[in-house]
Structure 1
Amino acid sequence: MHILYAPNDAGASEWITALTAAVPEATVSVWDPEGPSVGADVAVVWGPPKNLFTREPGLKVVFTRGAGVDSVLALPDQSASVRIIRLEDAGMGVQMAEYVVHELVHASRAFGKLAVAQAEREWLNLPATERRDWPVGVLGLGQLGTRVAQVVASLGYPVAGWSRSPREVDGVECFSGQASLNAFLARTRVLVNVLPLTPETENILCRDTLSRLWPDAYLINVARGHHLVDQDLLDLLDAGYLAGASLDAFRVEPLPIDHPFWTHPKIRITPHNAAMTLRDESIVQIADKLAALARGETVGGTVDRQRGY
């Protein structure tokens, strides 16, 4: 077995060392942008090179170093027989929940106003937050979305979740299918997007959907930048319909320095780090899944190409 690690980034040597220790029967190498094929049959990727499958036509299994798989599915020259496997949680669930809770509480308890008051040396007393006035809706109830919904619900906020197919989550009102999307949006004040990026979900955060939320609604996008129509968000913020947004993912990353999101007073920005892959947890998953595949077993996280996740 030959495992190829791509990209060749600052942490590549640590990944190579750890993968070699976890899968001792394999040869492990790092992607060389100028190099020849290494005859890899397994790849571990994040932001994969566009010529990955062109150079390595023998690939049989590709692991994505994260929850998203859209960048791999978009690569040219790949065989439909290639098995694409996403990491399941790998330490990301708790981080994602922490991030969402942080941004939700910042909005619902008006900590932004308190920061302004501090800068102006004003002792500002605000009324207590009534959680019933801040119903949260989680778009996407995969592993990460379910964890987010459960944690937020445990804090006493009314929580609903929406998914393409029916799900059941304790303490969460569940909606499913396109026919229920508008009803889900209509009961939501804080919309949290944790959807996978597919042709069906691209641009889902647009004027039509966002304007169906409660007035003074708040958006938290921890999924993909291509879910959001940037100008629609700006227009709704400027019109006063939306109260604010916390954005962790963008159409172009890093976010261009002249993008209006940087300076908009109602937008909070983080550099796509709401949930970061933890190396040790990821490598244990990869090693276990490779061993299961070798035994002919079904493994979790295998991507359905038709659904896009």
Structure 2
Amino acid sequence: MSFLIVSPGRDPKAWIKALENHHPGLNIYTYPEEHDKEEVEFALAWNHPRGLFKNYPNLKVIASMGAGVDHITSDSEIPEDITITRVIDDRLTEDMSVFVMAQVMDRIRDLSLYKEQESEKKWNPVSYHRIEDVKIGIMGMGVMGTAVGKRLAKNGFPVKGWARSEKEIEGIDTYHGEEGLAEFLEETMILVCLLPLTPETENILDKDIFEKLPKGAYIINVARGEHLVEHDLLEMIDSGHLSGAALDVFREEPLKEDHPFWEHPRIKVTPHIASMTKAESVVPQIVENYERMKENESLKNVVEREKGY
């Protein structure tokens, strides 16, 4: 029985070390080194080559290295009998909450604007928003979205959340489904996207959504680049309907040097750093699932294939 790590473009050394610390003696292969495919029953993956896992006849589990699983579920060639799991980690959730809070505070107090003015030696005070007057809407009320919403609400922001299915979350007004979307967007001054990426949510941040927001609304995308229709965002910012955006995720990463987001004065770009997985923090739950698999026990944090999360 062997354990396979597949993470093209990522150095797997930290993962190997953490796995060996938590499970001494574990037989670990790293793709694409030579190995016996029939031995592999458990894989740890991030952005694997499409179609790779259909070649492993005894593979039972594919574990995502991070909270997102779209990089796995988007591979239609993965056999249906393979279980996919995701990471749920308190540190990841806390990091995301802190990052979104920082972006929100930067927006309402114009800190980035003053940094620009400083470089130009301009002294130009502008009026600011008070916390209680800024209505924030979060799209996606899973583990991350709920935590971000609670952090913002705890700090005095009026928060509402939208999800595919009905949810009840203390301190947050919730909406769901197509019927609740327009009401959710109404009066939302800062829209935060934390949706999972599925065929239903791809391109959801488009002109139609933006037009339903009040004039001057601001976009924060910390989910996936594929959620955003980029030319719609540029059009709505340049027309004056949206006041700007903070983007941490992109369709192609790293963002190309000639991409218009880089030099747009009302778009902030960060290099996908809102919440970064630490191997030592999440390996214990991966090892636990490995042991559960060996004992034919139910696994934790299983992805529902039909939902995509």
TM-score (norm 2): 0.93
Q: Following TM superposition, by how much is the alpha carbon of 1:10 offset from its aligned partner in structure 2, in angstroms? A: 5.2
Partner of 2:269: 269
* Superimposed CA distance per residue, residues 247-292 of structure 1 (whole angstroms, 9 cap, x where no aligned partner): 1111111111111111111100111111100111110111122233
SS, match of residue 201 in structure 1: coil
Structure 1 counterpart of 2:229: 229
Task: For 2:291 and 2:24, locate their aligned partners in 1 and report how far apart those are by CA, in whole Å.
Answer: 12
RMSD: 1.9
Matched ranges for 1:1-309 at <5 A:
1-7=1-7, 9=9, 11-24=11-24, 26-32=26-32, 37=37, 39-89=39-89, 91-127=91-127, 129-309=129-309
Name stretches of at least 5 consecutive residues in structure 1 with no aligned partner.
none
How far apart are 1:38 and its partner, in Å? 6.2
After superposition, the Cα gap between the structure-2 partners of 1:132 and 1:215, relative to the gap in structure 1 and judged at 3 Å, is farther
Q: Matched residues in 2 for 1:33 and 1:209: separation?
A: 46
* Whole-angstrom distance in 1 between the partners of 2:38 and 2:17: 18
Q: C-alpha distance in 2, partners of 1:25/1:112?
A: 50
Deviation at 1:234, TM superposition (A): 0.3
Matched length: 309
1:66, distance to aligned residue in structure 2 (A): 0.8
Distance 1:40 1:179 in 2: 46
Superposed displacement of residue 63, structure 1: 0.4
In 1, distance between residues paired with 2:135 and 2:172? 11
Letter of the 2:253 partner, please give it: E
Deviations 1:110-150, CA, capped at 9 Å, x for gaps: 11332233234344444453223311111111111111111
Report the Cα distance in structure 2 between the residues aligned to 1:280 and 1:90, rounded to whole angstroms: 13
Indicate conservation of the 8 Å contact 1:57/1:78, yes or no: no
Distance 1:34 1:216, change over 3 A: farther
User: Relative to structure 2, which stretch is displaced further, 267-276 or 121-130?
Assistant: 121-130
Deviation readout 1:130-172 (Å, 9 max, x if unpaired): 2233111111111111111111111111101111112222211
The 2-side partners of 1:264 and 1:111 are apart by 17
| Larger deviation, residues 150-159 vs 286-295 | 286-295
The one-letter amino acid paired with 1:152 is L
Q: Which amino acid aligns with 2:207?
A: R
Percent same amino acid at aligned positions? 37
TM-score, length of structure 1 as denominator length: 0.93
Q: Please give the secondary structure, in 2, of the residue aligned with 1:262.
A: coil
Cα 1:268–1:47 change in 2 (3 A) is: same
The range that moved more, 162-171 or 276-285, is 162-171
Could you tell me whether the CA contact under 8 Å between 2:38 and 2:57 is conserved in 1? no
CA distance in 2, matches of 1:156, 1:124: 28
1:296: how far off? 4.1
Q: Tell me the amino acid that sits aligned with residue 287 of structure 2.
A: A
Q: Give the distance between the partners of 2:42 and 2:120, measured in 1 at CA.
A: 57
Q: Quick one: distance in 1 between partners of 2:9 and 2:258?
A: 27
